[in-house]
Structure 1
Amino acid sequence: MTTSTRGAVKTPAVLVLEDGRIFRGRAYGAVGATFGEAVFSTGMTGYQETLTDPSYHRQVVVMTAPHVGNTGVNDEDMESKKIWVSGYVVRDPARVPSNWRSRRTLDDELAAQGVVGISGIDTRALTRHLRERGAMRVGIFSGDTIQDDAALLARVQEAPEMTGADLSAEVATKEAYVVPAIGERKFTVAAVDLGIKGM
């Protein structure tokens, strides 16, 4: 994945599926190129939890809900300490978040963590395509990474497949940590964190 600073709303972006289907839109989050397995999420809420869920590592998440980012990003609803998705696809991102817990916009958070996204495409058509054809490799390209369609498709088809990938080694914690008890401590439990969700 290659990324640069946050893209202006009008920066062109292209989403290319490994079977040759192409969607054109605008950059959302970081500008650059990213690859992963295309999957979709039908949740109307909870996008922050989805983004920070380690089980979405190396996946490009397509949101079927038309409006995303309405409540911004806060510091309490994280499933882990970072965003794990490889890319993010939305139809109509919120221009201004409206929630008393919001600390920053979703666009800014994606850019700050180097997550390349695309907005302004028909996410329901893309979801139907994935539902009928199955999960597949995908690339999102924006800014200077956009080339002719054939070159972009070749890059997607050269990206590694998910089959056989050892992702638990990539999402596992590198060091031990302690989660303090809420209320009276009754037991001591040890767990191997290979991508535990925080909530």
Structure 2
Amino acid sequence: NDIGAVGLLREAGLPFVAGAAINCYNPQTLRQLVQFGMQRWLMPVELSREWLSEILRHPDIEDIRSSFEVEVFGFGHLPLAWSARCFTARSENRPKDQCDLCCIKYPSGRPVYNQEDERLFVLNGIQTQSGDRYNLVTEVPQMAGLVDAVRLSPEPEGTLEWLARFRAASRGEAQARAAQDVNGYWHKMAGIVQVA
């Protein structure tokens, strides 16, 4: 998730995984990352299946497609932004270097609500996450031949059950998404949309 680290890894001749915070939105950047040693690419969370399919069919990528794996963020609160300042420590008026790991009191993060009293974000340490949980368990069959790995972000409870459901979906067993979960970005829509 740090483009500066990519340069250091390239100089050292070490392979790496490019996280979603590496802003890779075109085939030329993707090709350059592969040339630098990228072995797996987690596509930016706000992009769609259609976009992924198009970029992987691009002439600049077709000849190197077997050189890297594609990973998609498929479950959890979407990582949207990071800060050097810990939001959890700040919310308790603690200095970052004397936080006493106060985040442990908020295993699901701290919700932030809009004026309509809807959860808009979750603040989790230095990370701002989506207020709604993203869930692509019903989209796993569409990923065949396109996606090599699906990333699940752990939650305080139920992670192992969701992992089993994603594995079942990868075997072709129909799965249902939780009613409150969203999947809009995968369908080229707003992230907070629920597409049946």
| TM category, shorter | under 0.3
Greater RCO, CA 8 A, separation 6+: 1
TM, length-normalised to structure 1: 0.26
Greater per-residue helix proportion:
2
